[in-house]
Structure 1
Amino acid sequence: MATRLVQVSMKARDDSALGGFWAKALGWVISSEEPGVTNLEPEGFVYPDPVAVCLDIIAFSEPKTVKNRVHVDLATTSAAHQAEVVARLKDLGATPVDVGQGDVPWTVMADPEGNEFCVLDSLYRDTGPIATVVVDCADPRAMARFWGEAMDWTLHEVTDHKAVLRSAKGVGPYLQFLHTPDVKTVRNRVHLDVRPYPGADQEAEAARLRTLGATAIDVGQGDVPWTVFADPEGNEFCLLAPG
């Protein structure tokens, strides 16, 4: 049994407006929309193909108060392309931000609701517009152990500084756990959603995740067809129904 990362969920005061920003930023389409939920995926995408990790934007009234512990990195193909992308994102409403990154070859920006993201240089070329999904953590090795067992993604690198995984199919974005001294203090506004494969037993998969170190939590979700968990460092994630 195993799961795979299928989407990143992001809370927003205005899901429709923020969804519009990200649709233009990524060149994706709004595949379905209901009050309070905006779903983004590549045009022609057949969910849940590992070639992309989709973006779900969920209406949430509470304001952002701290730097997000989960963010996305956008891919570019050259320094010139990076500059073009940064300029285009500024026109769409993004702003450069300083999170203490120092002199680095990527540009740190915030979307119109203040969610941090990075525009990389040409490090990743075959991922689609989202190069990596990054999770801040205290112990990348421990996170690699948990998430490497929780999902069937392949572990590409693990050090004291970072751990990097990618779909076993060798396509789509990478998932990176990056060491940071910051301590988690509030519920994450951005989290991961994982899904078992068709035919799997969702309850059995939930039990397996608990044995690996996940904890089922109540964030006020009520009666829903998914299970909300926290990983060993307290990062919320959702186990969706098989499919």
Structure 2
Amino acid sequence: MTASLHHIVIDTHDLPALARFWAAVLKWRILSEREREVVIGPDAAAPVGICFMPAPETKSVKNRLHLDLTTQPSEGEAEIERILALGARRVEIGQTGEESWTVLADPEGNEFCVVRPKATLIG
């Protein structure tokens, strides 16, 4: 049997709030909501979702793992502005300004990137 990815798990202080933020960013929905677990995904049959679990401590260092999001070629800056309006913020983690991505953080400080679509990186 081959292992396959089931959930990406994000530790959080406010499970419902962070789950709703990410559901809005990805235009996904809440699939299950329990006291100690909230799962989001595009639909119940999707092979991968994001699971939010409680964490007692606050985030204090740069993520060791982060998500890279992409957009349609014509929507890059508009999509970043939409995500910022949902509660994300821009963060500096040592970028030079020449990157093909923008670094943001969710409301609890978890860094993620919005990268240029592959079509704009080729050629």
Structure with larger RCO (C-alpha < 8 A, sep 6+): 2
For 1:220, the equivalent position in structure 2 comes to 94
Partner of residue 59, structure 2: 184
Question: Greater helix share, 1 or 2?
Answer: 2
Structure number with greater Rg is 1
**Runs of 5+ unmatched residues, structure 1:** 1-26, 28-74, 76-128
Q: What TM-score comes out, normalization by structure 1 length? A: 0.45
In structure 2, runs of 5+ residues without a counterpart are: 119-123
**Aligned-residue offset at 1:199:** 4.2
Residue 53 (structure 2) pairs with residue 143 (structure 1):
no
- Partners of 2:52 and 2:19 lie apart in 1 by 8
- Cα deviation 1:156-213 (Å, max 9, x = unaligned): 01234221012348332121111111221111111111122x3441100111111100
Aligned length: 117
Counterpart CA distance in 1 for 2:84 and 2:105 is 10
Moved over 2 A (4+): 167-172
Alpha-carbon spacing, 1:184–1:204, altered in 2? closer, same or farther (3 Å): same
Aligned counterpart, 2:121: none
- How far apart, CA to CA, are the structure 1 residues paired with 2:44 and 2:101? 25
* Backbone CA RMSD of aligned residues: 2.1
1:1-243 aligned at under 5 Å gives the runs 129-168=4-43, 170-196=45-71, 198-222=72-96, 223-242=98-117
Aligned to 1:105: none
> Are the equivalent residues in 2 in contact too, given 1:201–1:242 (CA < 8 A)?
no
Q: Secondary structure at the match of 1:176?
A: strand
Identity of aligned residues (%): 36
SS at match of 2:84: helix
